[in-house]
Amino acid sequence: DNTKIGFIGLGIMGTPMVRNLVSAGYAVTAFDLDPARVDQAVENGGSAASSIADAVRGADVVITMVPASPQVEQVVLHEGGVLEHIRSGGLLIDMSSITPQTSVDVAKAAAAKGVDVLDAPVSGGEAGAVEGVLSIMVGGERETFEAALPVLEALGKTIVLCGPHGSGQTVKAANQLIVAVNIEAVAEAVVFLEKSGVDLPAALDVLAGGLAGSTVLNRKKESILAGDFRPGFKIDLHHKDMGIVTDAARNVGATVPAGALLAQLVAALRQQGDGGLDHSALVRGVRRLSGE
């Protein structure tokens, strides 16, 4: 496959994703605002781009993996952005987690330029990105989805077209609601068990084997036990996602009380200076609420 890929946004997720695309045989030209991140991509077999234009020129497919809607708008829609430089007939896959409305706006602007777009946010965390087993929730046209599948298969395992533009983001927002509530439940159980004086590792092992078991519990229990809150997935990003899901739910008249509570708990962690920590740091919030 001689498909050329331009990749923009080389953070915790983008860096291993580039590595997997290179391993699958794609020529990847990578850009990030942080030049150290571009150097890392070159070490992983990509080529360096010094600007968005540089990453996009000559690419058949452009992938963006930046933090939030404002960065997607900046990178894709603004002057000097992807839509200014991508070739007509090219494909843009935005894999950032952003508001469904921004994905719809991007798709409209791209259509006017003859560019196909998918919103394709992911779940599975840094580990899923490293192992190339992400869940990828896609919004857009079926024909575009099918054309993009070989590229997406280099990055993920469960790859599903969820509906028209923006649908991938709506499903990702639901994903973030489930993950946040699940982490909070684990965090509350951990603090309860700690204060009860129960053997915590043993308790978490048996919990993981029953109905309380979950991917969240399996993935997060070691780091919670070790008190290691390096990200992973930053509280700042989960705060953004709880804003997306509570807004989107209000727009369609869905009531998400646990989501609203988690939005508040995540916001509190940020205010307490934990925005750069992994979302498993919700346990720190529960400890504080418990007088620890």
Residue positions annotated with a catalytic role: 172
* Token digits of residue 46: 């990509």
Nearest CA to 51 out of 76, 68, 33 is that of 33
CB of 172 to ligand NAD, least distance (A): 8
Single residue of 66, 110, 115, 137 touching ligand NAD by CB under 6 A: 66
Contact stretch for ligand NAD (CB under 6 A) within 5-13, 99-107, 178-186, 255-263: 5-13
Other C-beta atoms closer than 10 Å to the C-beta of 80 total 12
| Closest residue by beta carbon to ligand NAD | 11
Residue 136: alpha-carbon gap to chain centroid:
10
Q: Is 279 exposed, middle or buried (0-12, 13-18, 19+ CB in 10 A)?
A: buried
CB of 109 to ligand NAD, least distance (A): 17
Single residue of 14, 16, 81, 166 touching ligand NAD by CB under 6 A: 14
CB of 5 to ligand NAD, least distance (A): 15
CB of 195 to ligand NAD, least distance (A): 29
According to the binding rule CB under 6 A, does residue 168 interact with ligand NAD?
A: no
Single residue of 24, 33, 154, 185 touching ligand NAD by CB under 6 A: 33
CA distances from 55 to 41, 95, 118 (A): 12, 16, 18
The shares of helix, strand and coil residues in the chain, as percent rounded to the nearest 5, are: 55, 15, 30
Which C-beta is closer to ligand NAD: that of 207 or that of 245? 245
Contact stretch for ligand NAD (CB under 6 A) within 119-127, 147-155, 246-254, 268-276: 119-127
* Token digits of residue 287: 């400890």
Nearest CA to 17 out of 182, 116, 132 is that of 132
* Binding flags for ligand NAD, 169-208, as an x/- string (CB under 6 A): ----------------------------------------
CB 47 within 8 A of CB 29: yes
According to the binding rule CB under 6 A, does residue 125 interact with ligand NAD?
A: yes
Residue 135: alpha-carbon gap to chain centroid:
10
- Interface with ligand NAD (CB under 6 A): 8-14, 31-34, 37, 65-68, 71, 74-75, 96-97, 122-123, 125-126, 232-233, 237
